[in-house]
Amino acid sequence: MIYFDNVTKKYKDNSSLEEVTLSIAAGEFVSIVGHSGAGKTTLTKLILAEEIPTSGTVFFESTDINKLSKRDLMNFRRKVGVVFQDFRLLPGKTAYENISFAMEATGKSDDEIREDVPHVLELVDLTNRAFHFPHQLSGGEKQRLAIARAIITQPDLIIADEPTGNLDPMNANEVINILKKINDLGTTIILTTHNKGVVDSIKKRVITLENGRIIRDDKEGKYML
Amino acid sequence: MLIHAKRIIRSGWHSFIRSGFTSIASILIMTITLFVITSLIFVQASLNASLSDIKEKVDVTIYFVPGADEPSIKKVEESLVKLPEIKSITYTSALEALSNFKDKHSNDYLTLQALDELSENPLGASLNIKANDPSQYESIAKYFENDNALSKGALTIIDKIDYHQNKMVIDRLTSIINGAKSLGFAVSLVLIIISIIITFNTIRLIIYMSKDEISVMKLVGAGHKYVQGPFIVSGMLVGICASLLTILLFIPISIWLGNHMTDFIGINLYQYYKSNFLQLFVIMLGSGVLLGSISSFFAISRYLRK
């Protein structure tokens, strides 16, 4: 599904990713681990075409995502759900509206929105917080809302960039459990984290990055640094 | 398409209402801009009123020799009527001139007695001419120096034309009027540009604060129009509120100006406001909505390029 062909990304003079080649198949749950600054976030930004590689190519299916037109890029991003460490919710919109916005943006009808949003809110256990604004929610609730927003459009891929970084262990576990559930339903998940407990509990593929290079890629790995 | 428009308008409305303090701040800034624009319209109106007042006071009178016969004078008047520069001509006969003179000096027995001593009317008839524009008096005066324009017979009955006595005053007035007009225009233009820039920057700052929000919207897969639309709608709402506020503010202001400043300004601004209300309202609403939406459009487009 995703294929990095010898990708290097340099910021001014220090490089963040160096000669990374990897492929991720559909339906996988991949954890990307490494110290801060190892290149985890750069990797996710490259997948979303938020950054352009200095050299090498990033493919989604068989298309080079940096050669997409604006319109195709927009359509591509609709196939990818994103969850961030800092949640990145829309502060002026309620929980319900944060989710419905993603559906509205992709042109879904009002009926579909009325049907799907409560369903997803239930899945992440936020039904009774639907009309709260992000600043009225706890960290765990915010992250669950972000996941709800990411999955509402039924994306092929979900990128979760340090989703547990700001959460206590209990909330972190809950978030990971939701991600696992989504993965079981067939959605590919890329999770970046430096939380050992989280990675070890997943028992799926682990890619370890160090100084911008892949130093380990284990089928059923553990957090080892 | 329709559902998109509906969602954009609803979203714009929500962000306008929920931004609370920010919306109020931008409404106030925009109100200042519209206030400046409206004040300048008022200034121009009162300037125009005083200028036309002054223009009314400028005229040229042709005095005829006493005893000039009326048909010849009428002939001169008829030829003058054909000139495009002339706004109006008033004919005063010799008898009228005499009674006017008597009225004017009704308390001055000495003069009246002296007048009675004379057996005949010493005053001649006159034609009072008003031109469309003060600068045109010169060409009207020249008309009489031109032999071709009038028959020689007509020229002999003209005693004098007071243009040359008035020339200096007329010239100065003309230059003052033109100067005041272009100065007023330049000052208005500068003030309007400054206030537009201030409004534009305020809206730009507000959108700058939302730049993370814009990037999230893009990541979720929202198209440019869908990201841009609500901001433009909010900008328009700011414009609408600001124009309503300005319109309301000018009601007490114009009443006060009408009650206290009419003599000074030379025009009752309350009457002016009342009779031009619809026009002024459309100008304010139009500039408010345009300013709000165009500022939002330009401010946001820089965050959409990527």
Only one residue has tokens 């985890």, namely A40
Contact with chain A for residue B305, Cβ under 8 A: no
The tokens describing A28, both together, are 């996988």
Q: Does B219 touch chain A (CB under 8 A)?
A: yes
Residue A110 lies in a domain: no
Q: Are strands A63-64 and A213-218 parallel, antiparallel or unpaired?
A: unpaired
pLDDT block averages, 10 residues each, chain B of length 306:
85 89 91 89 80 74 80 79 80 82 82 79 81 75 63 66 71 77 84 86 86 84 85 93 94 90 80 90 92 89 76
* A104 domain-assigned: no
In a domain, residue A173? The reply is yes
Phi (first) and psi of residue A223, to 5 degrees? -80, 110
At B165 the pLDDT is: 65
Asked if residue A54 belongs to a domain, the reply is: yes
Label residue A218 left, alpha or beta by phi (over 0 means left) and psi (-120 to 50 means alpha). Answer: beta
Q: How far apart are CA B13 and CA B229, in angstroms?
A: 11
In this structure, what DSSP letter does residue B62 have?
E
Q: Chain A: residue nearest B209 by CA?
A: A91
Task: Say which of B7, B18, B221 has its CB closest to residue A78.
Answer: B221
Question: Which amino acid is residue A157, in one-letter code?
Answer: L
CB B223 within 8 A of CB B8: no
CB contact under 8 A, A101 and B15: no
Q: Do B216 and A105 lie within an 8 Å CB cutoff? A: no
CATH of the domain at A41: 3.40.50.300
Q: Do B220 and A97 touch (CB under 8 A)?
A: no
pLDDT in 10s for each residue of chain A, 225 residues:
899 999 999 887 677 888 999 999 999 999 999 888 888 888 998 998 888 999 999 999 888 998 888 888 888 888 888 898 888 899 889 999 999 998 888 888 899 999 999 999 998 889 999 999 999 999 889 999 999 999 898 899 999 998 988 888 888 888 899 999 999 989 999 999 888 888 888 889 999 998 889 998 988 877 777
pTM (two decimals): 0.71
* Structural domain includes residue A33: yes
A109 lies in some domain: no
Cβ atoms of residues B122 and B160 within 8 Å: no
Q: What residue of A is the nearest CA neighbor of B12?
A: A92
Structural domains in chain B, CATH included, are 2-54+182-304 (no CATH), 58-173 (3.30.70.3040)
Chain A, nearest residue to B18 by Cα: A92
Taking any CB pair shorter than 8 Å as contact, residues of chain A touching chain B are 48, 50, 70, 74-75, 77-78, 82, 88-93, 97, 101-102, 104-107, 109-110, 149, 153
CB B222 to CB A89 under 8 A?
Answer: no
A51-88 pLDDT per residue, tens: 899 999 999 988 899 888 888 888 888 888 889 888 88
Residue A49 lies in domain: 2-79+155-218
Q: Are B197 and A74 in contact (CB under 8 A)?
A: no
- Rounded to a whole number of angstroms, the distance from the CA of A77 to the nearest CA of chain B is 5
Q: Where are the alpha helices (DSSP H) in chain A?
A: 40-47, 70-78, 95-105, 110-123, 139-151, 169-184, 196-202
Angle between helices B163-209 and B224-260 (to 10 degrees): 140
Chain B hits for A156, Cβ within 8 Å: none
Residue given tokens 């609370």 in the structure block: B20
Q: Nearest residue on chain A to B214, judged by CA atoms?
A: A90
Q: What is the ipTM of this complex?
A: 0.73
CB proximity B286 to A under 8 Å: no
Closest C-alpha among B254, B304, B289, B210 to residue B15:
B210
d(CA A178, CA A120): 11
- Establish if A128 belongs to a structural domain: no
Q: Residue A89 domain-assigned?
A: no
Number of compact structural domains in chain A: 1
Q: A67: which residues sit within 8 A by CB, 6+ positions away?
A: none
